[in-house]
Amino acid sequence: MRLDTAEYVFPVEFMCERLDVSKSGYYDWRSRPNSATAQRREELKLLVKPGLQS
């Protein structure tokens, strides 16, 4: 799950320390493209949503 557009409650440095990950690793992860699974889920949402709205 990506929260790039969300307002963060805690600073990145604080969260990285608590989760025991490096800041550079976090920023590297953030810059990666979505996985094939994530891309497929987005495609499926587009197909399912019209069916739920009718």
Lowest mean pLDDT among 10-14, 31-35, 43-47: 10-14
Asked if pLDDT for residue 33 goes beyond 90, the answer is yes
Tell me the domain boundaries of the chain: 12-53
For the segment 39-52, the average pLDDT, to the nearest whole number, is 89
If you write DSSP's letter for every residue of 1-54 in order, what string do you get? ---TTSPPSS-HHHHHHHHT--HHHHHHHHHSPPPHHHHHHHHHHHHHHHHHH-
- Model confidence, pTM: 0.54
Residue 40: which residues within 8 A CB-CB, separation 6 or more?
none
- The residue with greater pLDDT, 17 or 1, is 17
- 51 versus 25: the higher-pLDDT residue is 25
